[in-house]
Amino acid sequence: MATFVLIHGAWEAGWAWDWMVPYLKDVGHEVHAPSLTGLGERSHLLTPDVNLETHIEDILGLMKWGRLENVTLVGHSYGGAVATGVADRAPERIGSLIYLDAFALKDGQSLSDLMIPERAETMRNYADENGEGWYLPPFPADFWHVTDAKEAAFLEELSTAHPYATMLQKLRLIGGLDKIAKKAYVLATGYEPSSFPKFAEEARSLGWPVEELETHHFTMLSMPDDTAEVLIRHAA
């Protein structure tokens, strides 16, 4: 059975995976779904100093102190940036790396660099106008094309402010990422505009398996069983 470490996206926390985790555990997989610093039940730790590096260290610490090996590392959305940094620094602990409608950064890139331009501008203005220039309050669910009432209520009840520095800090890689042989990309195709099709295309060009789920960005809410099945197919 696989050991999954699930990294949530911006404004989310470990709760983002709650509807999907049972589908993994019920067939015997080990699952870790931590909340990153400053988010969810750790929102009291939100400060202007929390950045991408902070979140990379969160997951490295989880794997080290949890003695996790042959990990299937999954990053959703912003979590893809975190997963990239983690996999690059601890490739010996990673058996498979899966991007779930996620940012796949290269060395020297930031999230803001890779967003569609209008989305990057929205984030910058939103932080300036509503977050004192350093944090981003949650957006309403319909901003993400989530129209199902249950899914929208879940997101809007639990989402918390996200540190803007995580989107501005450039990722620095040291060469470990290339040591991970098993990688996959999962693209959500049921909404526009999206920053992610270009990452799926690049994954295809590199020979990675690419799968598509016809739903909105939060596939683990709208299609938890299908999302779990895809992750299991590409697990270590």
Structure tokens at 214: 């016809």
| Residue 222 falls in the annotated catalytic set | no
Q: Which of 35, 43, 77, 159 is catalytic?
A: 77
Residue with tokens 């809007």: 156
- Alpha-helical (H) ranges within the chain are 21-25, 52-65, 79-89, 111-114, 117-130, 149-158, 165-168, 197-205, 219-222, 224-233
**CA 98, CA 184: separation in Å to the nearest integer?**
5
| CB-count burial class (<10 Å; 0-12, 13-18, 19+) for 173 | middle
**Alpha carbons 197 and 235: distance in angstroms, whole number:** 22
**CA distances, 95 to each of 2, 75, 91, 148, 186 (Å):** 9, 14, 8, 35, 17
- Catalytic residue ranges: 77
